[in-house]
Structure 1
Amino acid sequence: MDEIKLSNDVIEQIKEFKYYDLTEGQESLIDELITDKELKECYKSCNSQHFQQNFKNWTSGNHDVDEFIKKAQLKAKDVDHIIEWIEYDKFEDVEYLAKGGFGTTFKAVWKDGPKVALKCLNDSKDITTEFLKEV
């Protein structure tokens, strides 16, 4: 297959893409057109790069949970759909909302961020990859 050469104008337009606004078709087309790894990163969400640099700074204490969160962070396209591991002492005004089959839901204010929903999972130290596939 012949390598496709992109003009500087097209490259500049790609750098300005808002990755989270792209359709799956547009993402697929860009992945096919752009062969340069560095340029591909220009249209990827900066959130995933930020999280990737921070992976070594946290752990849930459960390898499977950590991997699940890391994968979700790398796939996140906007800040409204990000999963993070945050220590409990980083929250205030924690209020009970509901209890379900897998755990309890609370709302809280993250001291370093917005209001959030918290999930306290039953027996979270024993969570398996199979369980996480259901989340």
Structure 2
Amino acid sequence: MLLVEDNPGDVRLIEEAFSEGNIENTLHTVSDGQAALDFIHQRGAYEDTPQPDIVMLDLKLPKVDGEDVLHEIKHHPELNHVPVIVLTGLNETLIEARDLDHDADEDAILEKPVDPGEFVEVIRSFEQFRLAVMREG
């Protein structure tokens, strides 16, 4: 799983949620949109990294905007099957994310909960959903 998040506090919260939720998925983290593109295309420092099976993506990123990263993933023939969870902390961003040009139609848009316990529950729910989808597919 690839986490693309530039806020160190949110990164720590998500890592803790994975740990507390006993979510068995290796979490790779990058802090800007350019690093995310390099990671998913396995370029430069990320040449030997695995292709992510899921991307958790903040939309407000330095260097390359999260919307551009989402567009690249969803329009690349080798990546468009990778589920993307758009993480947002602001109601305006949530509305903006829903209006993306259909890039996130089959993916999830999650508002980042302020309460760590609530975020753990969101991550657990997502993991259960993902496992159920994998069993069906």
Fold equivalence (TM over 0.5): no
Higher relative contact order (CA 8 A, sep 6+): 2
TM-score, normalising length from structure 1? 0.26
Q: Which has the larger radius of gyration?
A: 1
TM-score, normalising length from structure 2? 0.26
